[in-house]
């Protein structure tokens, strides 16, 4: 029987172990036994808390979305201009907490899984809508709405693309270079439109 009060800690340990296991394997082709072993619990306890592996994977993805959302809200709390707002959204996606090998591998695995899982696809749509909304909240003050939407789509594509590229590299992620590349794209869009910066 699980110990009283341990459920939140063990659920979090299993989610962290899922991220680590996906990071090591590079795919979601991991077993509940492997995940449970990394979390230091039995497979039976992992199944008790999450049921099937698909339930644990969904909980892990919701956790990643929640963490990214909280980090984004914190990053936006201190900004005062629309331009700073867009930069904060870009930077949070490449923060030390978010842009690390195991998290990158998990996102890539979830993108692949979304091809066969409607639930995963729905969660990725939530992520895409949030990112678009956060970018648009700054961009619409800098560009007309159609240009802002195009810039937001381009920035989102670059963020996703840089995650994919870094997932395939055998070297640590370079957050500063990734941010600089996306910021350069944004500056080009703003200059082309004659927008205030």
pLDDT digits (tens, 9 = 90+) for 142-193: 999 999 999 999 999 999 999 999 888 778 889 999 999 999 999 999 998 8
**What pLDDT score was predicted for residue 11?**
92
Tell me: the pLDDT tens digits for 111-135? 888 999 999 999 999 999 999 999 9
**What pLDDT score was predicted for residue 99?**
95
- What the chain holds in terms of domains, given with CATH numbers, is 57-193 (1.10.357.10)
CB neighbours (10 Å) of residue 66? 10
In this structure, what DSSP letter does residue 119 have? H
| Residue burial 109-129, b: 16+ Cβ < 10 Å; e: rest | bbbebbeebeebeebbeebee
Q: What is this structure's pTM?
A: 0.88
Backbone φ, ψ for residue 116 (5° rounding)? -120, -10
Question: pLDDT category, 86, cuts 50, 70, 90?
Answer: very high
> Average pLDDT for residues 37-48, to the nearest whole number?
92
Express the helix, strand and coil content of the chain in percent, nearest 5 each. 75, 0, 25
């Amino acid at each position: 029987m699980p110990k009283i009060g341990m459920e939140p800690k063990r659920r979090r340990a299993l989610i962290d172990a899922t991220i680590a296991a996906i990071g090591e394997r590079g795919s979601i082709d991991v077993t509940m036994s492997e995940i449970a072993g990394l979390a230091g619990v039995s497979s039976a306890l992992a199944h008790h808390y999450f049921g099937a592996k698909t339930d644990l994977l969904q909980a892990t993805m919701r956790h990643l979305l929640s963490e990214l959302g909280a980090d984004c809200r914190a990053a936006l709390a201190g900004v005062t201009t629309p331009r700073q707002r867009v930069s904060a959204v870009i930077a949070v996606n490449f923060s030390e907490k978010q842009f690390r090998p195991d998290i990158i591998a998990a996102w890539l695995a979830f993108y692949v899984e979304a091809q066969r899982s409607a639930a995963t696809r729905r969660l990725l749509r939530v992520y895409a809508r949030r990112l678009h909304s956060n970018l648009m909240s700054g961009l619409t003050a800098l560009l007309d709405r159609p240009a802002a939407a195009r810039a937001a789509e381009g920035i989102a594509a670059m963020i996703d693309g840089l995650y994919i590229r870094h997932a395939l590299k055998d070297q640590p992620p370079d957050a500063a270079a990734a941010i600089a590349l996306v910021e350069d794209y944004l500056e080009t869009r703003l200059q082309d439109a004659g927008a205030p910066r």
